[in-house]
Amino acid sequence: MTSQEHVTHTWHGLTIDEVFTRLNADRAGLTAAQAQQRLTQFGENRFPPPARRGALLRFALQFHNVLIYVLLVSAVLTALIADWSDTLVIIGVVLINALIGFIQEGKAEKAVAAIQRLLSLRAVVLRDGQRRELPAEQLVPGDVVFVQSGDKLPADLRWFAVKNLRVDEAALTGESVAVEKALPAVPATAALGERFCMSYSGTLVVYGQGSGVVVATGAATELGRISVLLATVQELSTPLMRRMLEFGRGLALVIVAVAAVTFAVGFGLRDFPFASMLMAVVALAVAAIPEGLPAIMTITLAIGVQRMARRNAIIRRLPAVETLGAVTVICTDKTGTLTKNEMTVNHVITAAHNFTVTGAGYAPHGSFAVSGRDISADADPVLMEFGRIALLCNDATLRQHDAQWELTGDPTDGALLTLGMKAGLVRSVLQAALPRTDTLPFESEQRFMATLHHDHAGNGVIYLKGAPERVLKMCAAQRRDLRDEALDHGLWQAQITALAAAGQRVLAVAMKTAAPAQRELSFADTTHGFTLLGLCGIIDPPRAEAIRAVAQCRAAGVRVKMITGDHAATACAIGAQLGIGDGATALTGAQLEMMDDVELRHAVQSTDVFARASPEHKLRLVTALQADGQVVAMTGDGVNDAPALKRADVGIAMGVKGTEAAKEAAEVVLGDDNFASIAIAVEEGRTVYDNLQKSILFMLPTNGGQGAIIIAAILFGLTLPITPLQILWVNLVTAVTLAMALAFEPPEPGVMQRPPRDPRAPLLSGFLVWRVAFVSALLLAGAIGLFLWETAHGASVAVGRTVAVNALMLGQTFYLFSSRHRYTSAFKRESLFGSRMVLLVIAAMLLLQMLFTYLPLLQRGFDSAALGLAAWGRIVTFGSVVLVLVEIEKWLLRRVWQARRAVMPR
């Protein structure tokens, strides 16, 4: 057997004898020599470590930005002419931005390491004919392994002996219920959740015992395959990062082109000295580049992180905040995300009635209804007897801890315990009145459980629960009210079919009397003579808040798709309750495998429910949606979700019941495992983007105005009204004070009633470009006009420049009030005084400007000078004019839009 063969075999499709033959092994296990040889051949039972980027490389990549390149060239130019103060300031700004990016980049990829921790640490193995406990890393294909309840499986196993063995495979398949294991081979095409003769590394034995032969270890296991798949998944840049990259490249090209033309005009036509023109070009570059933009973007995203954390959405990677606002499709796992991952009885069917049971999960809160009318459980004797059997023919326990109900035992038994408590029965009282005498535990071969009970008068009764087709063969009668009647097989078969079609697990409950002297229970006692009480339908129900959240997402133009490893019928039934899909149509993993990429792209447009999906299927679905131009959020909690979580534009993992692998692959972790928190996060993400766009719209006129001042001064042969150092002061102060206020703005009205923004749309629309140009022109006119006024009336150049700087700052301050609402009027009390943060940052900015103007240390550093009251009066007047003119522009635009809507055909 080669090292590749044990990867490619469909072991579940082979008989156990064929498996041993292919592995060149047998039930006696391997010898130590054989194990050592195979360990050399296959390697240790562990995953290869992931490749990581070093901290130095991650820091160096922070400088890989065209705008940073322009700044660095500017620093080199200032150094060439020995202007060391400007050089140091520019380099300082670049380093600060690089540090911010390095810190906010987040932790290195840990998903593969998290999957590594899922491996079992020890294993009981048959070596040299003796049982030994060995480190799981030493397992090799052909080893015989023994497991029991509570063990984590150390490798992929093919079972050859099982005793009531049930394995929780939810982390790999999404199945809500532990899977019963059996020995016969299954079809080679069987989905992962239907390979009953196999179990996989990292899954958990919840009941029984088993012996199996190792068929795959390390990276060849199902878990290892996911690990390898995860390591090869390419992470995508976020829409914001892509738009910012495009914006940066475009801005850099414009800056370089304008700087070159300006230098040519000044040096070639105006005969300015070379050194002076070099400084002017540096000043232009520094003026036009929004140095504070990375900082304000980080601050805006960080504030969004804090807001989301308060609403149970924990952000692990900062850009994911904004990406949530651009999401067009949410692909969600079912179990534990849309549902509670707690099995619940929601139908009880007797010969007389079909009871609907309300309430979800293991909390015993709910009621019973027939045809939509509530009834009291104790009014129906058959229902009460059904509840007694549910409590007594049961080995699970439910305990309340910190307002949460915790189950120990099988999830199906937990659902039955909750049903009995909803009927008002108390288990301890029943056990005291009708103690258990003997038990036939559930076995996969028999498919039922039976218990023998005697009351204190000696009367005996046998209670039975199990697979309906098995239980029906044991029954001769059915109970209607207080009397028994002949069993109607047609009636019960129809009910079983209806419940199964609705995606429910069906269980039958029956009873018969026992002799007072009978103290032991054997299989011979369960072959016949039972009276059927009824059936119950069990399902992992959707969360009520998830139903509301799905509707909210749809109203916001966000489509919700459910991708689960569960059965198609179950997926359709849950989807219908949630408002996902049509309740009848689901694509299975087997169907997806038959589609090429083009067919899959068409299929995902019309289908919202996907069942029996493997990790590769989930990954293909996410990729197909992205190829169709969608911004995809993927939610999940299992190891099987990790590759798709990593590939998605936003991966959202469950924080309570999610695996570490899912959390490490995701950008967002939900603190409450609630789908409803995703809708809240989408709203916050849209608000973050709105506020970020407002901040950019607010900052760029400063850069545009400053750049225009430099160009105008060169074209008209004027002294520079503002120096490169003063430009940096204005840019940084504007970013850390005024622009920061916009990061705290609350959501715009109707933010969740509008469709998602087009992820391909540029950061600045045509209207926003106009707004930037308009305000830039106002700032240019005010700053250069006041500079010329001051110098024409005898003021020094230092005073004139100080006036120009303060005019830019005050013009931006008044513009801040208008920027809080891009389209509506700022002349409202809420816009002017409704934000405490706006007032605080204005106060901070004014304080900084007073220091800039009057503090001797800053006067020497920035070549500023003290101003008189008359100069301040002109500056404040200019700021007021900026606000009024921008509001007039907004009013005119609103009139134009209203006129257009009035003439549009309806």
Q: Closest by alpha carbon to 582, among 590, 595, 571? A: 571
Amino acid at 11: W
Could you tell me where the DSSP H helices lie in 317-467? 320-326, 381-392, 411-422, 427-433
Backbone angles phi, psi at 533, to 5 degrees: -90, -35
Structure tokens at 143: 């080893």
Q: Is 333 a catalytic residue?
A: yes
Element (DSSP H or E) covering residue 618: helix 615-627
Place of tokens 């398949």: 173
The active-site residue, picked from 333, 525, 608, 690, is 333
Contact by Cβ (8 Å): 307, 97 = no
**CB 362, CB 368: distance < 8 Å:** no
Would you state the structure tokens that stand for residue 412, as one six-digit string? Answer: 């199906």
Dist CA 172 CA 219 (whole Å): 15
Look at the block and give the residue holding tokens 């196993």: 157
Question: In 557-626, at which residue ranges do the beta strands (DSSP E only) sit?
Answer: 559-563, 587-588, 609-611
Q: What is the DSSP letter of 234?
A: P
Instruction: Kindly state the tokens that stand for 150.
Output: 């509570």
Q: What does DSSP say about strands 475-480 and 144-148: parallel, antiparallel, or unpaired? A: unpaired
Beta bridge partners of 401: 404
Q: Which of 161, 176, 247 is nearest to 206 (CA)?
A: 176
| C-alpha–C-alpha distance, residues 169 and 228, integer Å | 20
The dihedral sign for the CA sequence 383, 389, 395, 397 = positive
- Both tokens assigned to 387: 């509840």
Reference 167, options 130, 209, 131, 129; nearest CA is: 209
CB of 634 closer than 8 Å to CB of 642: no
CA 835/CA 841 separation, integer angstroms: 10
Dist CA 497 CA 540 (whole Å): 18
- Give me the count of residues in the chain: 906
Quickly count: other Cβ atoms within 10 Å of residue 604's Cβ: 26
User: Exposure of 549 by Cβ count < 10 A (0-12 exposed, 13-18 middle, 19+ buried)?
Assistant: buried
* Assigned token pair, 4: 């590749």
Tell how strand 530-539 and strand 475-480 pair up: parallel
Active site residues: 333
